[in-house]
Amino acid sequence: MSALISLLVSLFMLLIFIVKLSFFVVVIGLQYGVPAYIIYKLVRFVTRPFRYSAL
């Protein structure tokens, strides 16, 4: 019985760790991914006429 309880506790700890890790990844992604995406879109928007005029 105690082995089952310890297994459940370890699974619960693993679940908490995965949730924390995914939350951390989402926060980092929002901090760095969104501005990078906006900059990428701005660069694409600015360089669009130059690319078409080069053709």
CA 20 – CA 25 distance, rounded (Å)? 9
CA 39 – CA 30 distance, rounded (Å)? 14
| Residues 17-38: tens digit of each pLDDT | 999 999 998 898 888 888 888 9
Whether pTM > 0.95 for this model: the answer is no
Helix (H, G, I), strand (E, B) or coil at 41: helix
